[in-house]
Structure 1
Amino acid sequence: MPTFATHHPPIELARIAFSQLTDEPVLRIARLRKGWGHMSWTVRAPSGRYLIKTGIRRPHLADLYRQVAAQQHAAVRIATPQVIAISDQGGALQRPAYIQSWLDGKDGEVTLPRLSAEGVHRFGHDLGAAVAALHRIPGPRFAEDCAGTVTYATWTAACNARLQRVLTANEKASALPTPALHTVTDRIAALIDNLPDGIEPRLTHRDLYLPNTLHLNGHQKPVGLLDWESAAYYDPVWDFVKLNMWVFDKYPQLRTPFMDGYTTDSPLPEGFDERLTVYQGIEYLAGFPYFGAAWPDETMLDGFRTLLAGWMNRHHLAGDRP
């Protein structure tokens, strides 16, 4: 695979890429601040406003198609930008990129401190309703991404495969003591065997935190979702791992209105808590090779130590905590 630079290409190349892909001139273009997952440019053209995106952590063409497939599937039911053009690494940017429509609004993390108590409640409720709508979108099979790169006949098989990948990554990274790693993975494997039957593949974002939400201006759907690089056809309960970590724990005032919005049309699925604890264990383990080796961040790593220790305590596991 080719290697792509992690710094922004010159803005003039983004201008050329837009015109090549849309056959429109650029009236104004500006670089957005670099995010965790993408480099982006906003573009004003005669037909409207757009965003050019190219990946940082997942920069290859296959990664782009996975994101676009999820985004196009989600756009059927929820507010999310429409993908209007795709470029492989042969374009002006010399790296895969895509262009999407612009939704007028601000991300939830920026918006929330500016809202009244009533506004916070409304935002939480609308966000819950948006996520519930997302989780009603069915997938053909359980899959690691919405392009169907790797699929599974059963949810148990998908969970065991995910657990094995996380175990292998931890063994390679050595960011978590081996005894704790094996104690936790053994318990998770047993819990996977006890997951209820009847879980169906649904579109699952897998990176739900406030910067990936959009508080929309003048839109019929008041809250949208962004950034589909991690989306999969999973048990949608998986999305509550990060919702708990990065939304409800940080902004507890959102929990009740979110759950009210999420359960407006149907209750939480059977065995919700039992399913959630399995996925929490897997995701907490996944944080160690990610923030301990792939993208080192001692503050984040320490947070995952605390999360995993708490998980071990709740399951009454013997041995030292990480």
Structure 2
Amino acid sequence: MPNLIAHHPPIELARIAFSQLTDEPVLRIARLRKGWGHMSWTVRAPSGRYLIKTGIRRPHLADLYRQVAAQQHAAIHLATPQVIAISDHGGALQRPAYIQCWLEGKDGEVTLPRLSTDGVHRFGRALGTTVAALHRIPGPRFAEDAAGTVTYPSWAAACHARLTRVVTANEKASVLPTDVLHTVTDRIAELIDHLPGDITPRLTHRDLYLPNTLQLTGHENVGLLDWESAAYYDPVWDHVKLGMWVFDKHPQLQAPFMDGYTADSPLPNGFDERLTTYQGIEYLAGFPYFGAAWPDQTMLDGFRTLLTGWMDQHHLPGGRP
């Protein structure tokens, strides 16, 4: 994680922003040093503890409203911080920001190494139960975000639109060989056309990995954090990152997670076929992201390995990334 201290606006501006938005004095305020998508401050006020957040990668007002819409929708059904105030560019911070309640706990990445074998099982099952609750939240229409900024008449249309954006980004970045891009794209397009027709939109987090999970203090429930990528998608999409960043790294979590996830209903029809389709799209998306937008050679090499394995699984001819 980058050191964000040098990039934070002065802490006094955050103090003023909180009081302007809540009509409460600040008893104590501190910057969070750890972060990737947001700059944040923790605040202690007479009524409790809060967090001020403002975007880094997605800093615009429209981005803020998309995050807040998803977070408030999710908060009705599962443990996630409720948003209590929103500021546009006119506030003391001079950038969009919002304030949310503070949930006491530690993220899964910190918690997991400290757990016993039985504790790991309980954490994994609780996480599966939480994600299942998320995936039961219906959306009115397939959409790129919970605010409905861009929507689609069908799931196939949403997938083709996503694939087109990913291909365009790859062509611009010129990181992935053109022949590989075309071979993979053609196969994904075929898979999209064979997706089941009965998929319905559900709230999907789209960034599920352990730092975005929260082991709540005082009980074993697991909450979810950071809704900047949330959308109304096929919820199977969430299993792509779960596989990449959770189960591949911590295989002991997979079985208890799936126990919790399927406790009330089984996996949907065509789960494996749906998952491999979305894996192909997400693996392609890693190349312009980590090869050009946010260069990271280690991450890029990881996506080369993932895409190579995907191509081998589908017996695709030609070169590899």
- TM normalised by structure 2 equals 0.98
Superposition deviation, residue 36 in structure 1: 1.1
Corresponding residue SS for 1:214: strand
Deviation track 1:98-136 (CA, whole Å, cap 9, x = no partner) reads: 000000000000000001111000000000000000000
Q: Which residue of 1 aligns with 2:299?
A: 300
Quote how far apart the aligned CAs of 1:16 are. Answer: 0.5
Distance of 2:122 and 2:210 partners within structure 1: 15
C-alpha separation in 1, matches of 2:101 and 2:81: 5
CA distance in 2 between partners of 1:189 and 1:141 (Å): 21
**Distance in 2 of aligned mates of 1:33 and 1:57:** 16
Secondary structure of the residue aligned to 2:147 is coil
Q: Deviations over 1:242-280 (max 9, x none)?
A: 000000000000000000000000000000000000000
Equivalent residue, structure 2, for 1:187: 187
Aligned to 1:218: 218
Deviates more, 1:13-22 or 1:28-37: 28-37
Q: By how many angstroms is 1:33 displaced? A: 1.2
SS at match of 1:52: strand
**What is the CA–CA distance in structure 2 between the aligned matches of 1:276 and 1:113, rounded to whole Å?**
28
Distance 1:253 1:200 in 2: 31
Partner of 2:130: 130
Cα-to-partner distance string for 1:270-298 (whole Å, 9 max, x where unaligned) = 00000000000000000000001110101
Partner of 1:71: 71
- Share of identical aligned residues, percent? 85
Give, in whole Å, the separation in 2 of the partners of 1:114 and 1:230.
29
Task: Determine whether 1:209 maps to 2:209.
Answer: yes
Alignment partner, residue 279 of structure 1: 278
- Which residue in 2 is equivalent to 1:144? 144
The number of residues matched between the two structures is: 317
Partner of 1:3: none
Matched, 1:84 2:84: yes
Q: Deviations for 1:183-205, whole angstroms, at most 9, x for unmatched residues? A: 00000000000001100000000
Does residue 305 of structure 2 align to residue 317 of structure 1? Answer: no
CA distance in 1 between partners of 2:284 and 2:8 (Å)? 32
- Alpha-carbon separation, structure 2, partners of 1:124 and 1:33: 27
> Pairwise CA RMSD of aligned residues?
1.0
Indicate the SS of the match to 1:208.
coil
Uncovered stretches (5+) of structure 2, i.e. residues with no partner: 1-5
Q: Which string of whole-angstrom CA distances, capped at 9 and with x for unpartnered residues, describes residues 132-183 of structure 1?
A: 0000000000000000000001000000000000000000000100000000
Matched residue, 1:256: 255
Question: What letter corresponds to residue 175 of structure 2 in structure 1?
Answer: A
Cα distance in 1 for partners of 2:264, 2:217 equals: 25
Which amino acid counterpart does residue 249 of structure 2 have in structure 1?
K
- In structure 2, what residue type is equivalent to 1:100? Q
SS class of match (1:293)? helix
Aligned to 1:121, the other structure's residue is in SS state: helix
Query: Where does 1:3-18 land on structure 2 (aligned, <5 Å)?
Result: 7-18=7-18
Task: Quote how far apart the aligned CAs of 1:68 are.
Answer: 0.1
The residue type equivalent to 2:233 in the other structure is: Y
Establish whether residue 26 from structure 1 lines up as the match of residue 26 from structure 2: yes
Runs of 4+ in structure 1 over 4 Å off? none
Counterpart CA distance in 2 for 1:94 and 1:296 is 28
User: 2:226 corresponds to which residue?
Assistant: 227
In structure 1, C-alpha distance between the alignment counterparts of 2:251 and 2:66, rounded to whole Å: 32
Equivalent position amino acid for 1:16 in 2: I
What letter is aligned with 1:53? K
Q: Aligned-pair distance for 1:218?
A: 2.2
Q: What letter is aligned with 1:9?
A: P
CA distance in 2, matches of 1:18, 1:119: 38
Pairs within 5 Å for 1:169-184: 169-184=169-184
| Cα separation, 2, equivalents of 1:34 and 1:265 | 36
For the residues of structure 1 that align with 2:212 and 2:243, how far apart are their CA atoms?
Answer: 15
CA distance in structure 2 between the partners assigned to 1:279 and 1:8 by the alignment? 36
**SS at structure 1 position matched to 2:85:** strand
What SS class does the counterpart of residue 49 from structure 2 fall into? strand
2:227 match: secondary structure: coil
TM-score when normalising by structure 1: 0.97
Query: What letter is aligned with 2:138?
Result: P
Give the match for residue 241 of structure 2. Answer: 242
Provide the rounded CA distance (Å) in 2 between the counterparts of 1:57 and 1:35: 11
What is the Cα deviation at residue 35 of structure 1? 1.1
